[in-house]
Amino acid sequence: MKLFVTGGTGFVGSHVINRCHEVGHEVVALRRPGSQPRVSLRREPEWIEQELDTDLGAAFNGVDAVIHLASHTPNPPYDTLERCLYWNVYAALRMARQATAAGVRRFLVAGSCFEYGSAAAGLDRIPTDAALEPALSYPTSKAAASVAFMGLAREQGLVLEVLRLFQVYGEGEQSSRFWPTLRRAALAGSDFQMSPGEQVRDFVEVGEVARQIVAALAFHGPAAAQPRVRHVGTGQAQTLLDFATHWWHHWGASGRLIVGAVPYRPNEIMRLVPALDATESP
């Protein structure tokens, strides 16, 4: 299968390209001029060095499916809502319309578990049809993108699956995020300050995320003009403290975990664990 992948140098995108090549797909990948993959690629795709909002029409020649992974400021501090909406909704839809005009009918679009926002409160397992009630700019733009892409799929008769990723971690992750920061402290023998760690998440390693995304190219669930949402996770609930403690011991850390030294973030969502159906189970 010939694939067009956006966000090809990103954290998830780099791993997805490796997985696509591993299972025999041909990859055309979009990257911003000058950007480099977050992890080493075992094989280079055909790179398209352009911004997402430019004329990409010729890049879709012979493409069987689009995997849209590009996202604007997915990690705090988020950009303004206006900028997030421009890149995550307007530019993304512009790209999708160009692909559709070139004859592409199948799309996988990466979403975020944080699209659920306050609707996750009180839910032991979040169903895919839960309300979208985000509070911050990036999650709001991703929720808007999910709705917009599903509307486009119904309008154009496309086969679309929105893949909402839960708490992804692993090699190539942005250095300021929790897991890389924890690892640096552990390997340096330093203490590590963290929140009380009562947040409950479904932590999923990025290689597993890539596997599930590429497996979704089978498009077993959605039909033309009938888009669906799928969760990408493990189905296992774990507190942030338990996650940190596991990795702290795994790395043989000699420092201390100083629990409660950092306050929770404003609008912290305390539990985000997906309901997985049989086709989503790892």
Start-to-end C-alpha separation, the chain: 23
pLDDT of the residue at 221:
86
pLDDT of the residue at 281:
47
SS3 per residue for the chain: CEEEEECCCCHHHHHHHHHHHHCCCEEEEEECCCCCCCCCCCCCCEEEECCCCCCCHHHHCCCCEEEECCCCCCCCCCCCHHHHHHHHHHHHHHHHHHHHHCCCCEEEEEEEHHHCEHHHCCCCCECCCCCCECCCHHHHHHHHHHHHHHHHHHHHCCEEEEEEECEEECCCCCCCCHHHHHHHHHHHCCCEEECCCCCEECEEEHHHHHHHHHHHHHCCCCECCECEEEEECCCCCEEHHHHHHHHHHHCCCCCCEEECCCCCCCCCCCEECECCCCCCCC
The pLDDT tens digits of the residues spanning 106-115 come to 999 999 999 9
Give the strands of the sheet with 228-232, arranged side by side.
46-49, 26-31, 2-6, 65-68, 106-112, 159-165, 228-232
Give the predicted TM-score (pTM) of the model: 0.96
Q: How far apart are CA 91 and CA 258, in angstroms?
A: 42
Q: Which residues in the chain land under pLDDT 70?
A: 278-282
pLDDT of the residue at 17:
98
Q: How far is CA 253 from CA 175, 182, 192, 195, in A?
A: 18, 10, 10, 18
Q: Which two tokens stand for residue 174?
A: 């942005």
Mind listing the domains of the chain with CATH numbers?
2-169+203-232 (3.40.50.720), 178-200+236-272 (3.90.25.10)
Cβ neighbours for 55, distance < 8 A, ≥ 6 positions apart: 98
- Beta bridge pairs of residue 48: 30
